[in-house]
């Protein structure tokens, strides 16, 4: 859980509601028009019974394709994608886990936001209607990974990315809400360079 760091068919599958069509359009517009982004986020983790297990916050930046930096405040964690690989750094453990971006694509929402063509390859996208004032899409990973993510939900309000939810195979749910979202800011390339701290254990490539 610590690493964590979208078609609902209607009536026999013959029709798609306007809400569903709009949800798909929101996502397509986001992918085509937003090439980079910066935001703050709050993250809340719930168990299978809906009990809050953990709460966190942080910041993120991304540039398509495949580059992002996702920083959690407490516990302190950093997830960096440089377009080829993803580095997960856990400060408490002083441990870095490195994976190819293709292998880690379904295990981090940052990779989904920063993806482009890989999204269709890695996920089955399903519009799932409206809830909490947002239109939602479900992104279902085509392949299972070690994180056990069964579904990532993406919520749009007035065309703006507002929330994401990660559901795992055990029924746990991680809810992310975004604020101060900037579309297409200029991001310093240094944001996507990860240098492992001295003495850190490095696992993977």
Q: For the whole model, what pTM was predicted?
A: 0.80
d(CA 67, CA 86): 9
Contacts of residue 195, Cβ cutoff 8 Å, sequence gap at least 6: none
What 8-state DSSP symbol labels residue 15?
B
Helix (H) or strand (E) holding 87, with range, is strand 85-90
Provide mean pLDDT across the span 106-117: 70
Q: Which residues contact 31 (CB under 8 A, 6 or more apart)?
A: 116, 119
* Partner residues linked to 72 by β-bridges: 58, 77
State pLDDT tens for residues 53-98: 999 999 999 999 889 999 999 889 999 999 899 999 999 999 999 9
In the predicted model, what is the mean pLDDT of residues 127-137? 91
Nearest to 149 by CA among 129, 167, 174: 167
Predicted confidence (pLDDT) per residue in 141-197, tens digit: 887 765 678 888 999 998 889 999 999 888 999 999 999 999 999 999 999 999 999
Domain map (residue ranges) of the chain? 19-200
Percent of the chain beyond pLDDT 70? Answer: 82
Pairing between β-strand 36-46 and β-strand 173-183 as defined by DSSP bridges:
antiparallel
Q: Which residue has the higher pLDDT, 107 or 192?
A: 192
Please state which CATH number belongs to domain 19-200. 2.50.20.10
């Amino acid at each position: 859980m610590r690493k964590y760091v979208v078609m609902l068919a209607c009536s026999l599958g013959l029709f798609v509601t306007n809400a569903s069509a709009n949800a798909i359009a929101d996502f397509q517009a986001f992918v085509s028009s937003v090439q980079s982004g910066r935001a703050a986020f709050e993250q809340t983790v719930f168990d299978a019974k809906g009990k809050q297990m953990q709460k966190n916050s942080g910041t993120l930046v991304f540039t398509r394709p495949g580059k992002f930096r996702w920083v959690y405040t407490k516990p302190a964690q950093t997830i960096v994608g440089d377009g080829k690989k993803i580095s997960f750094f856990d400060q408490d453990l002083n441990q870095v886990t490195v994976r190819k971006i293709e292998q880690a694509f379904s295990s981090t929402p940052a990779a989904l936001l920063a993806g482009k063509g890989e999204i269709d390859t890695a996920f089955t996208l399903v519009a799932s209607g409206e809830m909490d004032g947002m239109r939602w899409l479900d992104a279902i990973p085509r392949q299972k990974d070690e994180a056990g993510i069964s579904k990532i939900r993406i919520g749009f309000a007035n065309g703006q990315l507002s929330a994401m939810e990660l559901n795992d195979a055990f029924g746990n749910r991680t809810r992310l809400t975004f604020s101060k979202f900037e579309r297409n800011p200029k991001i310093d390339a240094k944001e996507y360079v990860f240098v492992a701290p001295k003495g850190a254990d490095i696992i993977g490539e």
